[in-house]
Amino acid sequence: MGRNPLKITDTTFRDGHQSVIATRLKTEDMIPIAPKMDQIGFHSMEVWGGATFDVCIRYLNEDPWERLRTLKKLMPNTPLQMLLRGQNLVGYRNYPDDVVKEFIYEASESGIDIFRIFDALNDERNLEVPIKTVKECGKHAQAVICYSLTEKRMGGEIFTLEYYVQKAKKLQEMGADSLCIKDMAGLLSPYDAYDLVKELKKHLDIPVQLHTHYTTGMGSMTYLKASEAGVDVVDCALSPLALRSSQPAVEPLLVSLYATERDPGLDLKSIIEAGNYLEEILRTKYNSFLDATKFSVIDVQALEHQIPGGMITNLIAQLKEAKALERLPQVLEEIPRTRADMGYPPLVTPTSQIVGVQAVLNVLFGRYKMITQQTKDYFYGLYGKPPAPVNPEVQKLALKGYPRGEKPIDCRPADILEPEMEKARQAVKGLAKNRGDVLIYALYPQVGLEFLKKKYGIEK
């Protein structure tokens, strides 16, 4: 181990399989290697949140709360981590404060130690209640800045070095225990990573963590330069669920840093053994979920269009459904225009879906001839404040006849939301057995209700 070892968060049980096999890894296939993973010495293991909650109840017929409790029992020595979408929790809209608080209480009691909390617009107001609640639970609140660009490199009029530093200082003031730079599209170049980490370390007293994706092929280089700049922690996955649109693989990083002052000091042999198990399971049970449409394991086009891999997949699916796949190039040209109209939101869930779907409609039917409900909500301010001003003409068009009013709000979105937990309790009275069940319904009323009926053997 080096004098200043680089710490590693393992993402295999969450973002690794979310990125590579559509979040389909079942709990039963995590259980055999969980105790081994617990002994490796990772800084933390990301095992929950993001899309895992939705996929558990929608496709796997698994209780997400039970998965978390099971993994906590099997991995008592390693802090367990989740990805929380701010006021969006693990859903696709802003939930009221009472739902946010109850969700964090339940996750904390079920085994989450570190809550990684982000907002798709980098609107820190949407992190206020989650950070405060996590701190009340005595857990670690990691605040996130979503990394985004408007140019090839960091800079331009919006996403400058100063933009990130000021956001980071604000999050530290709000009580964040650590900061994560979330590079969801793999756009952070190695030299920008060095400059960004170096500057953040000058201004912050809290640890800095870096999360990237291998989508563009830069991930491992980015981690090496970030390591030189003094980053405290990076996210990696075991090699079978690494690379592609996932995180850099942990194994080569360990060897690259071996005998340096940043040597993480983790046992490569144990990691390879865990990876061998995973390789066999994935090959025999999950091969159909792997995207084999291209030979290349990186998306070099993302270096040009800067669109995350998952967003491209959704665009293709939407165009196939409309029998208009040949119009993908036009959609890729339209996305930057739609994004500019919306004030340059970072392209991450749920804003990537909002921008992507609207861009497809703009190409198929003419610009803003058809506007989705989510786009209308966005222009009203229900998702928060974007990094730059929106196009006022498009906003006016989107809010024409909008039920909540044609004048957008400028307050924290949750301030205008009515509490929902009591309504949810009443809706599943006699069916829900605990707070976790109620939260499943509160987050996903339709899918959640179907899942609870199946869970307790009640016919429709």
DSSP 213-271: -STTS-HHHHHHHHHHHT-SEEEEB-GGG-STTSPPBHHHHHHHHTTSTT-----HHHH
As a whole-number percent, the residues of the chain with pLDDT over 70 amount to: 99
* Exposed/middle/buried for residue 393 (C-beta within 10 Å: 0-12, 13-18, 19+): exposed
The position carrying tokens 């010495």 is: 41
The answer to the question of residue 179 being in a domain is: yes
- 213 plus 358 within the same structural domain: no
Select from 416, 422, 424 the least CA-distant residue to 445: 424
- 31 plus 77 within the same structural domain: yes
The answer to the question of residue 253 being in a domain is: yes
- 128 plus 46 within the same structural domain: yes
- 311 plus 273 within the same structural domain: no
The answer to the question of residue 388 being in a domain is: yes
The answer to the question of residue 82 being in a domain is: yes
Furthest CA-CA distance within the chain: 65
**pTM as predicted:** 0.95
Which tens digits make up the pLDDT trace of 20-73?
A: 888 899 999 999 999 999 999 999 999 999 999 999 999 999 999 999 999 999
The position carrying tokens 């006021």 is: 87
pLDDT classification of 201: cutoffs 50, 70, 90: very high
311 pLDDT more than 90: no
pLDDT of residue 310: 67
pLDDT of residue 460: 57
Question: Which has the higher per-residue pLDDT, 303 or 420?
Answer: 420
Contact 186, 215 (CB under 8 A): yes
- 353 plus 451 within the same structural domain: no
- 427 plus 365 within the same structural domain: no
Arithmetic mean of pLDDT, 114-125: 97
The answer to the question of residue 412 being in a domain is: no
The answer to the question of residue 295 being in a domain is: no
The position carrying tokens 């756009």 is: 187
Name the DSSP letter for residue 60.
Answer: I
- 386 plus 442 within the same structural domain: no
Name the DSSP letter for residue 349.
Answer: T
Task: Share the mean pLDDT of the chain.
Answer: 94
- List the structure tokens of 60: 């796997």
State how far the Cα of 264 lies from the Cα of 5, in Å rounded to an integer: 5
Contact 210, 193 (CB under 8 A): yes
The answer to the question of residue 297 being in a domain is: no
pLDDT of residue 455: 95
- List the structure tokens of 48: 């929950």
314 pLDDT more than 60: yes
Half-sphere exposure (CA, 13 Å, Cβ side) for 351? 32
Which tens digits make up the pLDDT trace of 357-382?
A: 999 999 999 999 999 999 999 999 99
The position carrying tokens 């999950």 is: 286
| Residues in contact with 208: Cβ distance below 8 Å, sequence separation at least 6, in sequence order | 178, 179, 180, 181, 197, 200, 201, 230, 231, 232, 233
7 pLDDT more than 60: yes
105 pLDDT more than 60: yes
Q: 10 forms bridges with which residues in the sheet?
A: 45, 236
pLDDT of residue 232: 98
Contact 53, 90 (CB under 8 A): yes
- List the structure tokens of 1: 């181990």
3-class secondary structure, 117? strand
- 172 plus 206 within the same structural domain: yes
State how far the Cα of 353 lies from the Cα of 375, in Å rounded to an integer: 10
- 387 plus 429 within the same structural domain: no
pLDDT of residue 291: 75
pLDDT of residue 196: 98
Q: Which domain holds residue 388?
A: 307-399
The answer to the question of residue 135 being in a domain is: yes
State how far the Cα of 186 lies from the Cα of 14, in Å rounded to an integer: 17
* Exposed/middle/buried for residue 64 (C-beta within 10 Å: 0-12, 13-18, 19+): buried
Last residue of a domain, one of 263, 289, 315: 289
The position carrying tokens 């208009």 is: 324
- List the alpha helices (DSSP H) in 258-327: 268-285, 301-305, 309-321
309 pLDDT more than 70: no
Arithmetic mean of pLDDT, 270-283: 96
pLDDT of residue 321: 85
Concatenated DSSP letters for 72-87? HHH-TTS-EEEEE-GG
Task: Put residue 429 in one of left, alpha, beta given phi > 0 → left and psi -120 to 50 → alpha.
Answer: beta
* Of the ranges 154-163, 312-321, 451-460, the best mean pLDDT one: 154-163
Cα separation of the two ends of the chain: 57
- 255 plus 376 within the same structural domain: no
As a whole-number percent, the residues of the chain with pLDDT over 90 amount to: 85
Identify the CATH number of the domain in which residue 147 sits. Answer: 3.20.20.70
Question: Which has the higher per-residue pLDDT, 290 or 351?
Answer: 351
- 188 plus 318 within the same structural domain: no
Helices 128-136 + 97-110 axis angle, to 10: 40
- List the structure tokens of 244: 């592609």
Arithmetic mean of pLDDT, 130-135: 98
Identify the CATH number of the domain in which residue 318 sits. Answer: 1.10.472.90
- 202 plus 174 within the same structural domain: yes
State how far the Cα of 73 lies from the Cα of 197, in Å rounded to an integer: 35
The position carrying tokens 């004030």 is: 343
pLDDT of residue 395: 97
State how far the Cα of 436 lies from the Cα of 419, in Å rounded to an integer: 17
State how far the Cα of 51 lies from the Cα of 210, in Å rounded to an integer: 20
- When divided into structural domains, the chain yields a total of 3
